[in-house]
């Protein structure tokens, strides 16, 4: 299974999340103004501003990786290994889970392959990764 190849993903079941290494957290995450407010990256007043300018500021801060001019949607930054900026590398858990973007809240119902997951199982106990 390859995270960057949705054709290799498995049909999603709720049990998958308990035994996963958070493979979905290495996918690009598009965010809207409401997400950025919930994530406490901007305030409600800024949400009314031109999102392109807000994204430019967040890019300078290292929080936004890219702004899609055609769609008007920014993408969150990722760490050098491709993981989401908000993923704890040790626990492999989201550090802003209660405030996470709608893209994450609605995964895998939305995304490159609806209803499927880029599930990557945790190594079995006692086996080196």
The structure's pTM equals 0.83
Quick one: three-class SS letters along the chain? Answer: CCCCCHHHCEECCHHHHHHECCHHHHCCCECCHHHHHHCCCCCHHHHCCCHHHHHHHHHHHCCEEEEECCCCEEEECECCCCCECCECCCCCCECCHHHCCHHHHCCCCCCCCCCEECCCECCCCCCCC
Amino acid 111: pLDDT: 79
pLDDT at 1: 64
Distance in angstroms (rounded) separating the CA atoms of residues 31 and 90: 25
Q: Give the mean pLDDT per block of 10 residues along the chain (129 residues).
A: 81 84 89 96 91 94 94 95 94 95 91 84 63
Q: Which residues have C-beta within 8 Å of that of residue 78, sequence separation ≥ 6?
A: 26, 28, 65, 84, 85
Given this model, what pLDDT does residue 126 score? 53
């Amino acid at each position: 299974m390859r995270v960057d190849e949705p054709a290799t993903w498995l049909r999603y079941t709720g049990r998958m999340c308990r035994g996963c290494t958070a493979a979905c957290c290495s996918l690009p995450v598009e965010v809207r103004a409401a997400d950025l407010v919930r994530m406490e990256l901007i305030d409600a007043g800024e949400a009314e501003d031109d999102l392109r300018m807000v994204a430019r500021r967040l890019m300078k801060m290292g929080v936004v990786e890219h702004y899609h001019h055609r769609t008007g949607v920014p993408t969150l930054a990722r760490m050098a290994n491709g993981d989401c900026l908000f993923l704890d590398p040790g626990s492999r858990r989201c550090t802003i889970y209660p405030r996470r973007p709608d893209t994450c809240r609605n995964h895998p119902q939305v995304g490159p392959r609806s209803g499927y997951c880029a599930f990557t199982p945790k190594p079995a106990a006692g086996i080196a990764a």
